[in-house]
Amino acid sequence: MRDERQKPPKQPNAYKHGIFSRTAIVPGEDREEFEALYSSLIQEWMPDGATEEDAVLSIANAIWRKRRAQKFLEIRLKKNNVDPSHASYNEDYSLKLFMHILRAQPDAAFKEYAGRCLRPDKVEFLKNKFPRSNYESSQEWADAIITEIKSVLLSDVPEDHPSAKLGLLFLSAETFTDDFFDHEVRLDERLDIMIDRAVKRLIQTKAMKAMLGQIGSERTDAKFGKGITHGSSNERQP
């Protein structure tokens, strides 16, 4: 007897069908992170067939773009924090960044990076107070500058002090202008609309399949029942 129980739909083989080829993974993004997102949506929606798989992929792409937009926002805000020409420039944050650069690339620190994260007066102050020629090694020179930054240039205000939080509030007010905020809201709204449409399409596809399957089953049952009736009638004939 044939097993009529409905089997769960098989998960699509993303690599076999090249389903991720339609997803733009930009440099710096983790493809495995996207695959994990897509797999979780597969588990949630259990798509059956190419149409449903396409709808789930559309949902995954939109959610991924929302995450990308959030990461881009965070990166842009951090970049603004270390840009001396930007209103939200944070000197303490920039000095800490420069210390990290000094440890990693002491010979390139001033030539390639200092002007991009420190104000001109700070660059000149450090160059004049710590001439490279006064030190035997680059590391010794870098260590002296790092000590100066830690002991003299960095603020003594703890990060959790109320005044520090107030300063961050003012910096945020400079960064989050009306145009900036409106752009972020519009992008988020557009992606939410894309997700809603894909979910609606997926639900409608599943409902249509269920309806067509039920109609097909009813027609099969009706035809099968009609055949039995005819057979019984014929058997009663002499």
What is the percentage of the chain residues whose pLDDT exceeds 70? 76
- How many residues in total does the chain contain? 238
Residues 6+ away with beta carbon under 8 Å from 73? 184
- Cα-Cα-Cα-Cα torsion 54, 57, 63, 66, nearest 10 degrees, comes to -90
Q: Is the pTM of this model over 0.85?
A: no
| Across 205-233, average pLDDT | 74
Strands (E) across the chain are located at: none
Model pLDDT, residue 213 = 85
- Higher pLDDT: 230 or 178? It is 178
| pLDDT category of residue 1 using cuts at 50, 70 and 90 | very low
Of 80-84, 130-134, 184-188, least confident by mean pLDDT is 184-188
What is the number of other CB atoms lying within 10 angstroms of the CB of residue 14? 18
Q: Domain limits of the chain?
A: 12-81, 84-178
Shortest CA distance to 49 belongs to which of 23, 86, 82, 17? 17
